[in-house]
Amino acid sequence: MKSRTTRLGLAAVLLFWGGWIAFSGTSSADMEIQKQAKAAGVAVKDCATCHVDKLPKKDTHEQNDAGKWLVAEKDKRKAAKVDGAWLKDYPGK
C-alpha cells in the first residue's frame, strides 16, 4: 500500500513539474517590467509602451517597435527575461 501511495505522489509531482516547465518557458510581460522602467526614469503610462493594444489580451499581444526591441535585447543579452530598465537605452521615441 505504501508503494502505491508513493507512486501516486511521484506521478502527481512529475505531472505538476512537467506542466510548470511547459508553460513557464514562454516569455510574457507583466507589471514588474513596467515598474522596472519607471524606476529607471522612463515615462511609462500603460502596456501600450511596448504593445500595440493599451491592455493586451493573453492570447493576442502584438508588440510595437519598443516591445520588439526589448525582446531583441533579451536575446542579445542572453537574459532569462526582459528588464524594463533597458527602455532607457531604447533608440526610438
Counting the structural domains of the chain, the total is 1
Quote the cell numbers at residue 62: 502584438
Residue 16 lies in a domain: no
> Is the predicted pLDDT of residue 5 greater than 90, yes or no?
no
Residue 1 lies in a domain: no
Cβ neighbors of 56 (< 8 A, separation 6 or more) are: 29, 47, 62
- What is the value of pTM for the model shown? 0.64
Looking at every residue in the chain, the average pLDDT score rounds to 81
- The residue range of the domain holding 52 is 27-89
Residue 63 lies in a domain: yes
> Is the predicted pLDDT of residue 39 greater than 90, yes or no?
yes
Residue 21 lies in a domain: no
Express each pLDDT in 9-38 by its tens digit.
Answer: 777 777 766 665 555 444 456 788 889 999
Residue 65 lies in a domain: yes
